[in-house]
Amino acid sequence: MGSLFRSEEMTLCQLFLQTEAAYACVSELGELGLVQFRDLNPDVNAFQRKFVNEVRRCDEMERKLRYLEKEIKKDGIPMLNTGENPEAPQPREMIDLEATFEKLENELREVNHNAEALKRNFLELTELKHILRKTQVFFDEVDQREMYQSAQMTDPSREEEHVTLLGEEGLRAGGQQSLKLGRKMETFCKHPLGTLQLPLHQEGGFHPTESMTRALITDDAIARQPGAGPVQLGFVAGVILRERIPSFERMLWRACRGNVFLRQTEIESALEDPSTGDKVLKSVFIIFFQGDQLKTRVKKICEGFRATLYPCPETPTDRREMAMGVMTRIEDLNTVLGQTQDHRHRVLVAAAKNVKNWFIKVRKIKAIYHTLNLFNLDVTQKCLIAECWVPLPEIESIQLALRRGTERSGSSVPPILNRMETFEAPPTYNRTNKFTVAFQALVDAYGVSSYREVNPTPYTIITFPFLFAVMFGDLGHGFLMFIFAAWMVWKEKPLAAKKTDNEIWNIFFGGRYIVLLMGCFSMYTGLIYNDAFSKSLNIFSSHWRVNYNVTTIQEVADLQLNPSTSDYIGSPYPFGIDPVWQLASNKIVYLNAFKMKISIIFGVLHMLFGVALSYSNHTYFKKPINIYCEFIPQIVFLTFLFFYMVLLMFLKWMIYGPTNPLPTSPACAPSILITFINMVLFKYNVLPLDGCETVFMFGGQAFLQKFLLLVAVICIPWMLLAKPIQIMKKQKKRHELLSNNHVIGENGGAEGVGHMVNANNISHSPPAKPEEEEEELGEMFIHQAIHTIEYVLGSVSHTASYLRLWALSLAHAQLSEVLWTMVLQTGLKSESSVGGVILWAVFAFWAVLTIGILVFMEGLSAFLHTLRLHWVEFQSKFYSGIGYSFTPFSFEIILATASGTGED
């Protein structure tokens, strides 16, 4: 139990392990998780250490396992997690694991490669199928339109229209041939499958007619051959991603200067990309052109836009035959693809059963070899030497683990564990459990405690939720917080098993016991404040009575209840605040005075407790000088000034009562704040009020306050100078002793030799060099001055800082009352037939605001203020927090960290 209040006692040990048994011994220590190894090769590169090849092998196995895991997740196969924790395999088992992983990876990669090739072939055949289908429809409809238009060629107006469309240059370039081509182009333009984009675009400032004039019929070769026959057009067909169509069309138009004709239509169903597995949308296109030069240019543009070109026969018969062959091959590919996927699925299902255990084994092997790289080899290369920090009470269990490891390895040489003496500060090891770990994390967030320093965590378990509840005190809001935390505690195991990356949820779940206590204490302070959703509970019946008649109550808006009369029965409410204050118009004035005083009382007691804990540190580390020169003046200063102010508050409550005569009536009660200010300023010539005898509460108060203030002022130079002067005197005596022994040693003699031995013994106590001592003395003066100023000024500012308890409590209560008055009360006042619906809507709105603002946001604000009060006002009185955490070699920690990293 002592380890809860102070960190575990640690010792530095030296460990000798035979090379053959080192692996098994380190494995047992990793399962135990109570040893922190030191790096004995800090200057050796990580790639030059003894077991670097084994670590690389483990990295390679881990890479293969991650590949398997990715493929398993891709197929949505559940990975079996039995919760087993297999032991680290022996080194000889690494070969079997490597062979297994190599076989699985190669088989899976081969299957994936074949499946990808099949899918790529399937995609190509599917695209070719769509091309043949779309182009066949296209050519069929064009032929039908040509037959229809050839029947109307005798119409002169139609022919004249074509001549006008083609322009004069077209007539000069070919006469009847040009006219024939013009009819063909018109047929293309009116095709329903697509839109003739390029010749009709108004790009570059050209009118559509001028663009037509520069179209396919203006080729120079045709112009030089007036007797040539009909123009022969070539074409290419392919598919392209749908989003690239607009830029593809513009590039064709600009590069070919309008001398191409593009038709495109969309493929209705999405196609699967064999490389990524994503669904993509594509379109079929066909491009008509004339000449080899344009053909080369068009193919280069298609290649640049990653369009896929496919052969498309010119005759309908060839196209139909090719389509039938494509359909047959697609059916065969579907069969082969299904068999490939089934084989892949069987391989992954078999791997999914063991992949979790494989991960654990590989990570344990890797951790062991990483740790072995921290060891040193002896001269004979047959023994590994390690240095490690271990908790002193656990040495026996560590030795047992080493023996088990030696037996597992079959070695006959037992390991040797020796304790070492060192002046290095050991790590801090505070034992925790699932209840205390969250509170310990709050303390460590400020700074890890120094070795064997008083641990604030057990006290924080009580003070943290209590100070939070002082600010958050509300029975209803505390109950909501309590049931939420109780649900997390009740469902602890299933919720912990569902690992998530949601940081907010992880914070709440990790601090579930903190939230539970905060809710419990908030319900208690809510009962003290008699506040539940801004309403009071009349549990014990009010101790105030209304003695007015009915007429007075009905006619007078504000009535006064006098505590000095029979309106008050003379005894306080049994628990908390009387519910009658909920109806009082001076409720805020009363609660202000009450909460302000209890904030100062709790603050001063909290700080005094922190100073008292510093005494435990001084006595444990055997520093009596700190007790006389720091603890005593600090406790005196804080008690004689601020605890005296707290005593005055209790005296005021006890002396001045409503039924007392005038000198001790509430009218003569002095202000505590004014009394404290006058005490500090030595201002005692204040006149009392009329009818009051004095401004003091008791006789001799003025003399007592002068004495307390004088002693408190004396404590300031006491804290500032006493410790450095005492250290300086000790160092002076040490120097004198050393110089005297040095003179006697020069004179010779047996006595001088004896004194020299003593002097040498003294010189071995740290520190030994005079220059370092003088430097430390100068630093001591500076440190003591800073510490004194910080404590004196901090005592004032920290006391005022505890007023945040009053401020946040008042703000929380007022905000809760505003929500009740302006939101829920509106729904309760509705008396219409739809009042129930209105109340339901208003209650839902009020509940959302209550949980979101009053519970969550106000709770977070109170949590942060409580955290500040503990870190600054409380822990600064005794806690240095300059240590470093004990980080043992533990498989449990390593696996948990690796699992969290893998999920991220």
Q: What is the pLDDT of residues 792-847, one digit of tens each?
A: 999 999 999 999 999 999 999 999 999 998 998 888 887 777 888 888 899 999 99
Residue 197 pLDDT > 60, yes or no? no
Tokens of 151: 């029947």
The DSSP annotation for 623-678 comes to -HHHIIIIIHHHHHHHIIIIIHHHHHHHHHHHH--TTS-GGGSGGGPPPHHHHHHH
Q: How much is the average pLDDT of 168-185?
A: 36
Q: How much is the average pLDDT of 221-237?
A: 59
Q: What pLDDT band is residue 31 in, cutting at 50, 70 and 90?
A: very high
Residue 170 pLDDT > 60, yes or no? no
Phi and psi angles of residue 736, each rounded to the nearest 5 degrees, phi first: -65, -40
- The full set of domain ranges for the chain reads 10-110+342-420, 128-337, 431-534+803-885
Q: Under a CB-based contact definition with an 8 Å cutoff, are residues 423 and 766 in contact?
A: yes
Q: What is the pLDDT of residues 120-139, one digit of tens each?
A: 898 888 888 888 888 877 77
Q: What is the pLDDT of residues 377-395, one digit of tens each?
A: 877 778 899 999 999 999 9
Q: What is the pLDDT of residues 51-75, one digit of tens each?
A: 999 999 999 999 999 999 999 998 8
Q: Under a CB-based contact definition with an 8 Å cutoff, are residues 25 and 402 in contact?
A: yes
- Residue 143 has a pLDDT of 65
- For the chain, percent of residues with pLDDT exceeding 90: 47
User: Among the listed ranges 152-166, 567-581, 643-657, which one has the minimum average pLDDT value?
Assistant: 152-166
- Residue 142 has a pLDDT of 65
Q: How much is the average pLDDT of 598-621?
A: 95
- For the chain, percent of residues with pLDDT exceeding 70: 85
Q: What is the pLDDT of residues 878-901, one digit of tens each?
A: 999 899 999 999 999 998 888 766
Which among 202-211, 513-522, 696-705 has the top mean pLDDT? 513-522
Q: Under a CB-based contact definition with an 8 Å cutoff, are residues 535 and 820 in contact?
A: yes
Between residues 171 and 649, which one has the greater pLDDT? 649
Average pLDDT taken over every residue of the chain: 83
- Residue 864 has a pLDDT of 96
**Spatial separation of the C-alpha atoms in residues 511 and 516, rounded to whole Å:** 9
Q: What is the 3-state secondary structure (H, E, C) of 241-287?
A: EHHHHHHHHHHHHHHHCCCCEEEEEECCCCEECCCCCCEECEEEEEE
Phi and psi angles of residue 428, each rounded to the nearest 5 degrees, phi first: -95, 125
**Spatial separation of the C-alpha atoms in residues 269 and 281, rounded to whole Å:** 7
Residue 4 pLDDT > 80, yes or no? no
Q: What is the pLDDT of residues 400-439, one digit of tens each?
A: 999 999 998 888 888 999 999 988 999 999 999 999 999 9
Residue 218 pLDDT > 50, yes or no? no
Among 464, 880, 877, 879, CA closest to 642: 877
Q: What pLDDT band is residue 630 in, cutting at 50, 70 and 90?
A: very high
Q: Under a CB-based contact definition with an 8 Å cutoff, are residues 547 and 494 in contact?
A: no
Q: Under a CB-based contact definition with an 8 Å cutoff, are residues 579 and 531 in contact?
A: no
In terms of phi and psi (left: phi > 0; alpha: psi -120 to 50; beta: otherwise), the region of 631 is alpha
Q: How far apart are the first and last CA of the chain?
A: 38
Q: What pLDDT band is residue 155 in, cutting at 50, 70 and 90?
A: low
- Residue 166 has a pLDDT of 33
Tokens of 418: 């020796």
Q: What pLDDT band is residue 291 in, cutting at 50, 70 and 90?
A: confident
- Residue 749 has a pLDDT of 46
Tokens of 627: 């007790």
- Residue 149 has a pLDDT of 62
Q: What is the pLDDT of residues 327-375, one digit of tens each?
A: 999 898 889 988 998 998 999 999 998 999 999 999 999 999 999 999 9
Side by side, which strands form the sheet with 282-289? Answer: 261-266, 282-289, 234-241, 308-310
Q: What pLDDT band is residue 180 in, cutting at 50, 70 and 90?
A: very low
**Spatial separation of the C-alpha atoms in residues 738 and 736, rounded to whole Å:** 5
Whether cis (ω within 30° of 0) applies to the bond prior to 767 is yes
For 787-797, give one letter per residue: b (16+ CB within 10 A) or e.
ebeebbebbee
**Spatial separation of the C-alpha atoms in residues 74 and 716, rounded to whole Å:** 71
Residue 857 pLDDT > 70, yes or no? yes
**Spatial separation of the C-alpha atoms in residues 348 and 194, rounded to whole Å:** 46
Phi and psi angles of residue 410, each rounded to the nearest 5 degrees, phi first: 80, 15
Q: How much is the average pLDDT of 750-777?
A: 42
